[in-house]
């Protein structure tokens, strides 16, 4: 638990008793702060009523309250401000998220560094990969934020430690003071547009990561999409371009399957062949590797230490996760691919694909798929978006609407057996029409694969 002694004499409201909210409440309670906790979910309120001070924030006076901590998912402006946002503003309260609280207590922690990682796709893998590389390389790192442990549940690192934070646009909306020692802005693709009022608002939220930091600190910025390239061109601070599409002058890039470092460093030049890390397949993972290599060496690891650590990384659940190989058929769980751009990365990483897609489609066009479906033998469509996706793929791709994941998995397996193909769950859609979360969807897929394996071994 991080020390919040700076707030011990404060009266602070906490709205939202999810993982991060409860972690904040417990940390504030531990130092003797006066707290007022509430959640819109009645069951959640009752769950914590015996442990935390429960106060209906909608119907209490804010006269004695000095600040309020909101969860990242709270609508601040779009599509309309949450009722408590208006009440907090009217009473001139400080409005914080848990990462902002961390930023405000950094001077009380042993000397450390912070790496902030944001972007649309690849944040979790890049964050986990950097955390792994640093620890394997002999440094002490801790992973938190949007992925991993809630920030307030982290224990303070000893002097010289590195906090690796994955930061969502929602979290960045609630921050003003996080001065990262290294920032990574991976890429931009349409996502959460309703929350931010459009693409411009979404990009603006992400770019806050750069505007909060000392301009002398290095910012690694992807330059392979137009929004990211524009951000790189406009940003006037210390910046390092990262590309997997072309050589990047003074940057880190991948070309012809080789990772290059073109920064002004003694060990600049060709670094490694990406085929030497088969546990990180695909162009999107090449981008993750490039960012992690740049940051890890900036933090002091040697080239050889980074390469050795990359080779021992086993990957994350639900992100191009290799589940099993049964009768020559590979099963890949990419349930985390909840938008088209994420799915395209998987579609371009395998061959002879029996693709399982569908759910709640969040975008306005299926256009991003074109150019990525050449490796797809057939797409098996499930969920709410199945009919619309079928209409789009008509005449372009063999498809079948099967509605549910269990049917899709069985039929895709039978089809893939014909050519030792790959059954790829990469839905390109949110999961909430049929599942609790993308994790639930991926877990159920893995169980279905295990059942297929049992059936085949008993056949």
Q: How do the domains of the chain map onto residue ranges?
A: 5-96, 100-310, 321-454
Whether residue 459 is predicted with pLDDT greater than 70 in this model: the reply is: no
The whole-number pLDDT of residue 170 equals 80
Lowest mean pLDDT, pick from 116-125, 302-311, 327-336, 410-419: 116-125
N residues, the chain: 459
Average pLDDT over residues 4-26: 95
Which residues sit opposite 241 in a β-bridge?
A: 221
Whether residue 432 is predicted with pLDDT greater than 90 in this model: the reply is: yes
More confident residue, 235 or 363: 235
Lowest mean pLDDT, pick from 44-48, 65-69, 199-203, 312-316: 199-203
Whether residue 199 is predicted with pLDDT greater than 90 in this model: the reply is: no
Whether residue 193 is predicted with pLDDT greater than 70 in this model: the reply is: no
Whether residue 191 is predicted with pLDDT greater than 60 in this model: the reply is: no
Lowest mean pLDDT, pick from 73-77, 140-144, 315-319, 328-332: 73-77
Report the chain's mean pLDDT, rounded to a whole number: 92
Residue 7 near residue 33 (C-beta atoms within 8 A): yes
Which pLDDT tens digit goes with each residue over 173-185?
Answer: 888 999 999 999 9
Whether residue 303 is predicted with pLDDT greater than 80 in this model: the reply is: yes
Whether residue 418 is predicted with pLDDT greater than 60 in this model: the reply is: yes
Average pLDDT over residues 389-396: 93
Whether residue 78 is predicted with pLDDT greater than 70 in this model: the reply is: no
Which pLDDT tens digit goes with each residue over 48-72?
Answer: 999 999 999 999 999 999 999 998 8
Whether residue 195 is predicted with pLDDT greater than 60 in this model: the reply is: no
- 347: Cβ contacts below 8 Å, ≥ 6 apart: 353, 355, 369, 372, 373, 375, 376, 424, 426
- Confidence band for 203, pLDDT divided at 50, 70 and 90: confident
CATH code of the domain occupying 321-454 = 3.90.190.20
Average pLDDT over residues 406-413: 98
Whether residue 192 is predicted with pLDDT greater than 70 in this model: the reply is: no
Average pLDDT over residues 344-373: 89
CATH code of the domain occupying 5-96 = 3.40.50.720
The whole-number pLDDT of residue 353 equals 97
Global pTM reads 0.79
Average pLDDT over residues 20-40: 96
More confident residue, 1 or 404: 404
CATH code of the domain occupying 100-310 = 3.40.1190.10
């Amino acid at each position: 638990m991080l020390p919040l002694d700076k707030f011990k004499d404060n009266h602070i409201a906490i709205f939202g008793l999810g993982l991060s909210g409860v972690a904040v409440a417990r940390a504030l309670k531990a130092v003797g702060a006066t707290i007022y906790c509430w959640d819109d979910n009645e069951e959640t309120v009752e769950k914590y009523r015996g442990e935390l001070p429960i106060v209906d924030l909608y119907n209490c006076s804010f006269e004695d309250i000095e600040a309020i901590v909101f969860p990242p998912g709270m609508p601040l402006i779009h599509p309309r401000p949450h009722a408590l946002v208006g009440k907090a503003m009217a009473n001139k309260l400080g409005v914080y998220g848990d990462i902002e609280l961390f930023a405000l207590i950094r001077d009380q922690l042993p000397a450390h560094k912070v790496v902030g990682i944001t972007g649309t796709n690849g944040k979790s893998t890049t964050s986990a990969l950097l955390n792994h590389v640093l620890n394997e390389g002999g440094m002490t790192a801790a992973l938190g934020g949007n992925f991993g442990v809630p920030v307030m549940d982290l224990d303070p690192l000893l002097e010289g430690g590195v906090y690796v934070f994955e930061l969502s646009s929602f979290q960045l909306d609630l921050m003003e003071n996080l001065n990262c020692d290294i920032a990574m802005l991976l890429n931009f693709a349409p996502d959460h547009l309703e929350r931010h009022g459009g693409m411009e608002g979404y990009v603006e939220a992400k770019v806050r990561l750069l505007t909060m930091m000392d301009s002398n600190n290095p910012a690694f910025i992807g330059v392979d999409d137009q929004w990211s390239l524009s951000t790189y061109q406009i940003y006037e601070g210390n910046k390092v371009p990262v590309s997997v599409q072309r050589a990047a002058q003074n940057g880190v890039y991948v070309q012809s399957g080789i990772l290059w470092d073109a920064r002004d460093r003694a060990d600049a030049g060709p670094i490694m062949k990406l085929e030497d890390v088969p546990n990180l397949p695909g162009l999107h993972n090449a981008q993750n590797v490039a960012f992690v290599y740049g940051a890890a060496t900036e933090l002091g690891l040697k080239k050889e230490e980074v390469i050795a650590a990359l080779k021992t990384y086993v990957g994350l659940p639900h992100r191009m996760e290799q589940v099993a190989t049964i009768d020559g058929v590979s099963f890949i769980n990419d349930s985390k691919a909840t938008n088209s751009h994420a799915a395209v990365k998987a579609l371009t990483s395998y061959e002879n694909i029996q693709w399982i897609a569908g759910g709640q489609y969040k975008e306005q066009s299926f256009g991003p798929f074109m150019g990525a479906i050449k490796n797809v033998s057939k797409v098996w469509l499930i969920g709410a978006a199945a009919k619309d996706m079928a209409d789009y793929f008509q005449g372009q791709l063999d498809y079948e609407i099967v509605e549910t994941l269990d049917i899709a998995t069985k039929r895709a397996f039978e089809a893939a057996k014909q050519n030792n193909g790959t059954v790829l769950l990469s839905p390109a859609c949110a999961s909430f029409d049929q599942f609790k979360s993308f994790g639930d969807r991926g877990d159920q897929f893995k169980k279905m694969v295990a059942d297929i394996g049992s059936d085949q071994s008993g056949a």
